[in-house]
Structure 1
Amino acid sequence: MDSSNILEINKLTQQFKSGDKQLTVLDSVSFSVAKGTVCSIVGPSGSGKTTLLGLCAGLDRPTSGQVILNGINIGDLNEDERAAVRNDFVGFVFQTFQLIPTLTALENVMVPLELRGEATKEVNAYAKELLTEVGLGDRLNHYPTQLSGGEQQRVAIARAFINKPQILFADEPTGNLDTETGETIENLIFDLNRASGTTLVIVTHDLELAHKCDRVIQLRNGKIASDEWIEETATAKVKEA
Structure 2
Amino acid sequence: MDPNPILEVTNLTQQFSSGDHKLTVLDHISFSVDEGTTCAIVGPSGSGKTTLLGLCAGLDRPTEGEVILNDIPLEPLSEDERAEVRNQYVGFVFQTFQLVPTLTALENVMVPLELRGMRTEKVKEDARKLLTDVGLEDRMHHYATQLSGGEQQRVAIARAFINKPRILFADEPTGNLDTETGQTIEKLLFDLNKINGTTLILVTHDLSLAEQCQRTIHLKNGAIFKDEWIDRAEVEQLNR
Shorter-chain TM-score: what band? Answer: over 0.9
Corresponding position of 2:99: 99
The 4+ residue runs of structure 1 with deviation greater than 2 A are: none
Aligned equivalents of 1:156, 1:119: Cα separation in 2? 19
Cα deviation, residue 64, structure 1: 0.7
Q: What TM-score results when the alignment is normalised by the length of structure 1?
A: 0.94
Matches for 1:151-230 after TM superposition, within 5 Å:
151-230=151-230
Matches for 1:19-168 after TM superposition, within 5 Å:
19-168=19-168
Aligned equivalents of 2:150, 2:124: Cα separation in 1? 22
Encode CA deviations 1:160-206: one digit per residue, 9 max, x unaligned.
00000000000000000000000000000000000000000010000
**Residue 124 of structure 1 aligns to which amino acid in structure 2?**
K
Encode CA deviations 1:27-56: one digit per residue, 9 max, x unaligned.
000000000000000000000000000000
Aligned equivalents of 2:27, 2:129: Cα separation in 1? 43
Aligned equivalents of 1:232, 1:119: Cα separation in 2? 39
Q: Which SS does the other structure have where 1:216 is aligned? A: strand
Aligned equivalents of 2:114, 2:30: Cα separation in 1? 35
Cα deviation, residue 20, structure 1: 2.1
Corresponding position of 1:237: none
> Structure 1 residues 13 and 135, CA, compared in 2 at 3 Å: closer, same or farther?
same
Corresponding position of 2:237: none
Q: Which SS does the other structure have where 1:45 is aligned? A: coil
Aligned equivalents of 1:149, 1:118: Cα separation in 2? 28
Cα deviation, residue 118, structure 1: 1.6
1:15 lines up with 2:15 in the alignment: yes
What is the percentage of aligned positions where both structures have the same residue? 73
**Residue 145 of structure 1 aligns to which amino acid in structure 2?**
T
Conserved? CA contact 2:214–2:232, under 8 Å: no
**Residue 9 of structure 1 aligns to which amino acid in structure 2?**
V
Aligned equivalents of 1:125, 1:78: Cα separation in 2? 33
Encode CA deviations 1:70-128: one digit per residue, 9 max, x unaligned.
10001110010000000001001000001111111110000000111124211111101
> Structure 1 residues 35 and 212, CA, compared in 2 at 3 Å: closer, same or farther?
same
**Residue 52 of structure 1 aligns to which amino acid in structure 2?**
L
Encode CA deviations 1:120-167: one digit per residue, 9 max, x unaligned.
211111101100100001001111110000000000000000000000
Aligned equivalents of 2:62, 2:93: Cα separation in 1? 21
Between the two proteins, the alignment pairs up a number of residues equal to: 233
Q: Which SS does the other structure have where 2:175 is aligned? A: coil
Aligned equivalents of 1:150, 1:98: Cα separation in 2? 13
- Larger mean CA deviation between 15-24 and 142-151 belongs to 15-24
Structure 1 unaligned blocks of 5 or more: 235-241
Cα deviation, residue 21, structure 1: 1.4
Cα deviation, residue 3, structure 1: 7.1
Q: Which SS does the other structure have where 2:23 is aligned? A: strand
> Structure 1 residues 6 and 79, CA, compared in 2 at 3 Å: closer, same or farther?
same
